[in-house]
Structure 1
Amino acid sequence: MWPKAASTTSKTLTGKAALVGGSSFGIGATMARELSRRGAHVIINYPFPAKKGRAEEVLCSLLGVARSIIVEADFSTLTGPQLLAAAAAAEFRKIDILVNNTGIGAFSPLDTPDDADRGTLLLTRACLKYLSQEGSRIINICSSTSRDPISHTTIYAGSKGMIERFTRCWARKLPHKYWCTVNSIASGPVAVGQMLSWPQEFLESLRANFDRAPFAPKSSWRNGVYLPVTDGSTIC
């Protein structure tokens, strides 16, 4: 069960509207809960009718008091991202935070391509005209796999590497026009339901990588990070 928010939790995002792509399960659902806990209105996305129940469960699990909604939008289509952005703007009149969290599964053999990851580009493009000019944020969810790939991650690692490059390009160009910042988060393996359903051989290779790393709990998980604070004047 998601832990109850402490009474001292800072409502730093009160009044903000946060759109989280792919937020009906896994990492996206966790981010939706945290954004709500900090006071934001959250737009929860699910891809098609069969997944609506999961999105409703996430909506019911939000601990914040701000109004939040669920929206069906399939990112493997050209129209899905546009529908999601328009629905968010219609409900909250703006988008303060965009979290690009959609993508193909990490276990993605070369001969089974998936077009879902283009949703990052299409959703960002659709949201630009709705971004708040009071310090909006774009956060792209990448993966450590793009720099340390293992077997059967050709498509996933490549697509996440592409999103890294999106972030670098957008961080130079978008702030001047849309008053936003653009950053990415590259996470390691996260034991959510989808990951645990992958083939055992693949999970064992992930475990081997994990076992080589120094153990680090909570915030210490950020280990070996190079974080330039340069306002984007240098893109490293």
Structure 2
Amino acid sequence: MVYAAFIHVLIPFCLCVILANSGLFDHVVVDLTYDHYAEKTVQWLPAFLAMPFNCLVNVGYVVMGTFWLFKPIGPRDSRERYFKDVFAFMAILYGPIQWIRLSSLSRAPAVLDQWFTLPIFAWVPVWCHFTEHGWSPWHVLTTETVSILSYALALFHELGFDAALACHVAGAVFTGVKIQRSHGDATTLRHLLLAVLSCSGFVVLKLLDLTLAQNWLFQNLTGHFWSKICDILQFHFSFCFLTDLNAKGTKKL
């Protein structure tokens, strides 16, 4: 199932890379200068470390994703490993894209950085549906396809991506709360709350990056850096929540 998960992540990943470099998204509003980040660039460092803390933090996605990829979860069938492995590969690929965006300040990586966020959030409702209702390849394919296509909103309005992301975040939180109420316990509730708290930190700290930098505490390890730490923790606690629910055997086979 590891091979299947990798292929199923790699194919849409490559398609998105091709489209992002096709010129289709040349008018999408993305940040292409360091002025949008509070961390100061270090001129004597190479481009891939221009903002050393904001660049290096992306290693965390790869480390966390690799940890969960190889973590045994004792599933009752291979499909449970498939959902875990897809999520892990998403995290592993997401880190380098963000790093390339910061080091190159190019449009395509900036578009991909935004774009990949959507199917990652969409995987939470997909996994919840599997946990509660069992295997449905059409549901997986439909949900992820709609999620990927929703980035087209960015073509029509400068806030199109923000609207799509807000819907994805709300959908992930809603389905998490729903399945927690029907199948969760104290342990899964703790993981759900930590995931939601990390998600809130990810959004708020990123938005307040420049404002927080007025305080010396956030001038090196900036709000954007800590938002990425929260994003990695959001991934981790989502893994904890969803694998714990799977361990309970709640799905209807």
Report the TM-score, using the length of structure 2 for normalisation.
0.28
The structure in which a higher percent of residues are strand is 1
The structure in which a higher percent of residues are helix is 2
Report the TM-score, using the length of structure 1 for normalisation.
0.30
